Amino acid sequence: MKSSHTTANFSGDRLRIARYRAGFNIRELADIVELSHAAISQYETGRAKPNAAALARLAMATGMPAEFLTYGDRNVSMAGLDGTHFRSLRSTSKQHRANAWTWSEMVLDVVQVLENYVRFPATLVPEFTLAPGAGREQVRLAAERVRAQWELPEGPVGHLVRHMEKHGIVVSRMPVADDGIDAFSQYQSTRPVVILGTNKGDAARSRFDAAHELGHLVAHPEADPGGTQESQAHAFAAELLMPEEPMLRLLPKRYDLSAYARLKHEWGVSIAALLYRARTLEVITDAAYRRAVVALNSDYGRRREPFPLQRSDDPTMLATAADLADAAGISLTRIASEARLALADVELIIAGSVTRPAVPL
């Protein structure tokens, strides 16, 4: 590719992604590439474009292919980092969240290329916007809409991630979603994306994370960090995984570990979530809830729960698509080249989508 064409197609948004990916602020990147801070800012805002030599230095400093900085086949998500739903904001820095967000954009780049060769499921995310003051009844209706439109079973939902993928949501597991972030999601581009962590241990916790992020996609078209959205998404996840009507019949009216363990394995949710649901539905009192939590933590600790679910809801859609493309002669190396990404990054994205052989959706 000629240098003049390369610089003409330069994307300031993609430079910002590359900078986030490398963990630099503007000043740090400017010092490394020996340009002014103002120049980097102008590049990212689209007020100026680098020449060929500066472009090469920017690519080398950020560790991204120069072609990534000029990839114009897919626009970067409009609201960017600010439009992404993150959990645990207090325990993570903006730089950490920014680095994590770049992976959701790279996932979308991979999907953009794969969809040239493989037909993905159509996107169907039910819409039920929850206002900041929405109460329990509105949350229940939002969860019921998802169950109805997706034709989920009346009881336990089962493999939730598989249901999400079946309806066009791209899901991947990434180490960047660990270390305090848990999970995050965005729906600002061609497809909704959910990134789950890899270190949950108990699969029940990861399933709840997936339900939480689904709640954001359904109920929160615009991210509002610090507002009521996190508590609403939490309530949505509880209602989707533990519907009110059957839970009122099934939840024990006193702390019975064996009974809660049976429910955990039947419904695929943690004992902690079941206890909190019992409290929310007033099956047990606040005092009884506190005693149960103390007893559970005393016997097993706060981070490890008894009777863990071993089989996690692992995504398969991206890996299946990559396999289908490979069978048609489209290698992962070619996918990486067309997505303007490093092969190692694409391999990590695909590997985060499956941990064992999978059947087509």
Query: What residues does 172 pair with on adjacent strands?
Result: 195
**137 within domain boundaries:** no
CB 179 within 8 A of CB 153: no
**92 within domain boundaries:** no
Q: Return the pLDDT at 202.
A: 79
The bridge status of strand 193-196 relative to strand 85-86 is unpaired
Cα 295–300–301 angle (5° rounding)?
A: 90
Residue 24, domain CATH: 1.10.260.40
- Tokens 């999978």, located at residue: 358
CB 350 within 8 A of CB 316: no
**159 within domain boundaries:** no
Number of separate domains in the chain: 1
* 20: containing domain: 1-72
**303 within domain boundaries:** no
**133 within domain boundaries:** no
The bridge status of strand 193-196 relative to strand 183-186 is antiparallel
Instruction: Please report, in tens digits, the pLDDT of each residue of the chain (361 residues total).
Output: 444 446 778 999 999 999 999 999 999 999 999 999 999 999 999 999 999 999 999 999 999 999 999 987 888 887 788 889 987 666 678 888 899 999 999 999 999 999 999 999 999 999 999 999 899 999 999 999 999 999 999 899 999 999 999 999 999 998 876 667 889 999 988 899 999 988 666 789 899 999 999 999 999 999 987 779 999 999 999 999 999 999 999 999 999 999 999 999 999 999 999 999 999 999 999 999 999 999 999 988 877 889 988 778 899 999 999 999 999 999 999 999 999 999 999 999 998 765 544 445 5
Q: Return the pLDDT at 163.
A: 97
**143 within domain boundaries:** no
**67 within domain boundaries:** yes
Q: At what angle do helices 317-327 and 343-351 cross, to 10 degrees?
A: 120
User: Do you know the residue count of the chain?
Assistant: 361
Q: Return the pLDDT at 90.
A: 62
Sign of the C-alpha dihedral, residues 351, 23, 200, 280?
negative
Structure tokens at 273: 């979530």
Whether the full predicted model's pTM is greater than 0.85, yes or no, is: yes
Residue ranges of alpha helices (H) inside the chain are: 3-8, 12-22, 26-33, 37-45, 52-62, 94-114, 136-149, 160-166, 203-219, 229-241, 244-250, 257-267, 271-280, 286-300, 317-327, 332-339, 343-351
Q: How many CB atoms lie within 10 A of CB 83?
A: 16
**37 within domain boundaries:** yes
CB 141 within 8 A of CB 103: no
Q: Return the pLDDT at 199.
A: 65
